Structure 1
Amino acid sequence: MSNWHIPLSDLDYGSEETAAVQRVLQSKWLSMGPEVQAFEQEFAEFLGVKHAIAVANGTAALHLSYLALGVEPGDEIIQPAINFVAAANISVAIGVTPVFADIIGLGEPTIDPADIERRISPRTKAVLVMHYGGYPCRMAEIQGICQKYGLALIEDACHAVGARYLDSQSRAPHGNMVGNLGDIACFSFFSNKNLATGEGGLVATNRDDLGERLRLLRSHGMTTLSWERHKGHASSYDVILHGYNYRLDELRAALGRVQLKKLQRNNSRRQQFVSAYQQHLTPISGWTVPFSDYFGDSAYHLIVIVAPDKETRTHVVKTLKEAGIQTSLHYPCLPDFTAFRHLTSHDLEQSRLFAQGVITLPLFPTMTLDQVEQVCSHIYELSHLAPVKDDLP
């Protein structure tokens, strides 16, 4: 697939996905139809939610979520400074101001509930949380804040399909699925995600009003769809609001159904590799391994480490690349991108420290423990050779 000795990610694709695609091709119905309907039903049952609406991609899921919740130009959405750019871009695109909140710290790079509350203003309409790397945010605290101030709660669950939230206070043996913790939740099925269809996404909610509005917004505000008319269940349609073409196609839905069946097994494999990484890397002095003491049920989407400083990060990434080991950066601090520098972004110390040192390491369900050990061996050697600064926190 690539020239990398150990790639950053890889797909668990095989004969089941091939058969699913062939099934759709043989049906000769490619646009949204029975495969999408089945995928939505299976995903809703998996999450334990009333409504699962499949869409074109994760960004479409975010856009429709904002619109369904009635977010309007001039409103503010509080969201993490450490995230992929999609949530902030869509905010700006619809005239909403993204208000960036800090993360809890290097060891827990999810949005800080205390910083959320500090940034609430009369214009705040919603809070968007991102379950970084597949690890649920501190949802009990955030739910309480949203309830106190009457704010909508949006889950960016693109990293966290299959994760469960456990209350850290009670340490209960079970919990709610991520995607079933707020007013609305957004998923991405991009090629590097735990459930991968190339493109594709999904919006989940337990609210009937949101579910109905999301379905209309997804397909031009039309009251019936092509598949229903093709089957003779409807002969005409009305357009009752201004919507978009954010539909998912049958091929990706068929792939999603197969990937959903593999998800829990593959998340368990990811957990095995993350545990091995943590065992090898946690003892290294001066470095941080986020979530190394996490006790809950993560989706284990990412394994990241935080170097002591930017120079060390640069040195390690360069040397790993020379060894054929692919890495990435999840993520730069959003307000430091050129497109967002006009926004106020004070007091994001932990987010900026995290962004300058974080390294994303290879993690995928078909990798091996030997590959994990190879990556860790290089990092262990480099941690002693890299120009680490002793005076950094």
Structure 2
Amino acid sequence: MSSTDDGRKVNLFEPDIGQIEKDAVLSVLDSGWLAMGARCKQFEEEFAQYLGVKYAVALSSCTSALHIAYLLADVGPGDEVIVPSLTFVATANAVAYCGGKAVFADIVSDSDWTISAEAIEASITKKTKAICVMHYGGYSCDMDAIERVAQAHGIPIIEDACHGLGGSIASGKMIGSVGQTACFSFYSNKAITTGEGGMLVTNDAALAQRARLLRAHGMTNTTYDRVKGAMGYDVTELGYNYRLDEIRSAIGLAQMSRLPVALTMRKRLAAHYAKRLAQIAGVSLPNHGARGTPAHYVLPVIVDEEYDRDRARLAMHELGVQTSIHYEPVHSFGHYAKAGWSLPLTENVASRTMSLPLYPSLEEDAVDIICDRLASVLPGCKK
């Protein structure tokens, strides 16, 4: 440790929660209505307005949003959906929920970890029903190239935007405003959190209407609708219990008010990291194509081939810095590995990456301490 290191422990993330969230929760408890209702509708409206899309449908998780997005793309038994492997497993699992098959496509390069348009095109078959992109780390995929491929083959794009809230693509459009649908996560470590929760967005009125049916058992009127005067309901198709309640909706509304400042802080911290990491031999901070404005959801670095990433993570842990891996490749997990997928670029990057702490309340001097500790441990982690 350096002489300026005070020995503090640094968590990978800390949720940005304060009095406005506490007050919002109490107001719901005092209202007498806890299930999906007026606050959920307001959350949807404000979220859609922020993204510049027409419709937002609040859901219990990003996983449920992905499931519904695939259903809206008519994915069913025997169909294929092209997905990245450098993502959370839900991106692929939700395809299987529909009876479909996830087809894994490689990333662009070891400096751009988003799904490759060329790899997508090479993976298209007569069975391909949709393409799902994931804006890794809050860095936009090459949507211009991916849209050209999708349009040439008449295949819809679904955006897994769990990392991308607040970021933009090369054209300046918001991440999540481009695909047929897009899915967001409000898990506890996301840009805004409701503890658990998600949102599906679209510009298609018919898709939004069907998504609302699917999230609530296929019912044409919810309990809140009936309290407000709707008489009875029909069930028009097989639906699910994917609703977002008023408590989490209220937290989401409070979190939306924090988002602009939180994004500014993330950008400032990422810039400070970039300056410090440039001075450390053996590690680099990829720019993932430098398209649009990143959301800076996580701070993923990559160590040179000569270093043992896992030893470096253990050493950082022993010095009080929590790190993570985004991600172990989905195709390498036991459930998927039996298919024998080979994605050389994904596999190489996944074996060398680790994510450093990044969240709005992190101080710049903590970034200095993290980088000093990383610089101190790396020389001892050569293979």
Q: TM-score range by the shorter chain?
A: over 0.9
Contact 2:139 2:291 in 1 (8 A): no
**Greater alpha carbon shift after TM alignment, 104-113 vs 29-38:** 104-113
User: Residue 106 of structure 1: CA displacement?
Assistant: 1.9
2:257 matched to 1:261?
A: yes
Give identity over the alignment, percent. Answer: 40
- Contact 1:4-1:326 within 8 A present in 2 as well: no
Change (3 A) 1:113 1:292: closer
Equivalent residue number for residue 160 of structure 1:
164
- Residue type of the partner of 1:5? K
Secondary structure, counterpart of 1:144 in structure 2: helix
1:114 aligned residue: 118
Q: Does 1:216 align with 2:184?
A: no
2:184 to 170, 182, 187: 187
Deviations 1:166-218 (A, max 9, x none): 24xxxxxxx11111011000001000000111000000000112111111111
Amino acid at match of 1:211: A
Distance 1:298 1:106 in 2: 18
Structure 1 stretches of 5 or more lacking a match?
168-174, 389-393
Does the aligned pair in 2 maintain the 1:132–1:159 contact within 8 Å? yes
Secondary structure of the residue aligned to 1:229 is: helix
Structure 1 distance, partners of 2:250, 2:298, is 25
Q: Which moved more, 1:87-96 or 1:187-196?
A: 87-96
| Conservation of the 8 A alpha-carbon contact between 2:84 and 2:132 | yes
1:349 counterpart = 2:344: yes
Counterpart code for 2:346 = S
1:295: how far off? Answer: 5.9
Are 2:236 and 1:240 equivalent residues in the alignment?
yes
Cα offsets for 1:64-103 (capped at 9, x unmatched): 1111111111011001010000011121232211110111
Distance 2:144 2:260 in 1: 25
User: Which residue is equivalent to 1:23?
Assistant: 27
Matched, 1:359 2:359: no
Counterpart secondary structure, 2:349 = helix
How far does residue 261 in structure 1 lie from its aligned partner after superposition? Answer: 1.2
CA distance in 1, matches of 2:131, 2:344: 20
- Counterpart Cα distance in 2 of 1:23 and 1:114: 51
**DSSP 3-state at the match of 2:351:** helix
Which of 321, 324, 334 in structure 2 is aligned with 1:325?
A: 321
Match of 1:40 in 2: 44
Letter in 2 for 1:239: V
Q: Structure 2: which amino acid aligns with 1:217?
A: L
TM-score by length of 1: 0.93
| Residue in 2 that maps onto 1:270 | 266
Deviation at 1:231, TM superposition (A): 1.9
Q: TM-score scaled to structure 2, two decimals?
A: 0.95
For residue 310 of structure 1, report the CA deviation from its aligned partner: 8.4
Find out whether 1:338 has 2:342 as its counterpart: no
- The answer as to whether partners of 1:310 and 1:356 remain within 8 angstroms in 2 is no
Aligned residue number for residue 90 of structure 2: 86
Counterpart for residue 379 of structure 1? 374
Provide the rounded CA distance (Å) in 1 between the counterparts of 2:260 and 2:93: 31
Tell me, in whole angstroms, the C-alpha distance in 1 between the residues paired with 2:340 and 2:377: 37
Give the residue type in structure 2 aligned to 1:83: T
The answer to whether the 8 A contact 1:278-1:292 is kept is: no
Give the letter aligned to residue 10 of structure 1. Answer: E
Matched with 2:285 is: 289
d(CA) in 1 for partners of 2:334 and 2:234?
43
Equivalences, count: 377
Counterpart of 1:99 in 2: which secondary structure? strand
Give the 5 Å matches for 1:9-158: 9-158=13-162
> 1:11-60 CA deviation, whole Å, 9 max, x = no partner?
11111001100110000100000000000000111111111000001100
Contact 2:114–2:288 (CA under 8 A) maintained in structure 1: no
Deviations, residues 83-134 of structure 1 (Å, cap 9, x unaligned): 0000111212322111101111121110011110011111111100000001
Cα deviation 1:338-367 (Å, max 9, x = unaligned): 000122413x11100111011010001001
Asked if residue 299 in structure 1 is aligned to residue 299 in structure 2, the reply is no
8 A contact 1:107–1:288 mirrored in 2? no
Give the corresponding residue for 1:172.
none
Tell me, in whole angstroms, the C-alpha distance in 2 between the residues paired with 1:337 and 1:211: 33
Partners of 1:282 and 1:292 within 8 A in 2: no
Label 1:47 to 1:29 Cα distance change in 2 as closer, same or farther (>3 A): same
Alignment partners' CA distance in 2, 1:279 and 1:260: 29
CA distance in 2, matches of 1:122, 1:228: 42
Cα gap change, 1:132/1:143 in structure 2, threshold over 3 Å: closer, same or farther?
Answer: same
- 1:369 has 2:364 as partner: yes
Letter in 2 for 1:364: Y
Q: How far, CA to CA, are the matches of 2:288 and 2:240 in structure 1?
A: 42
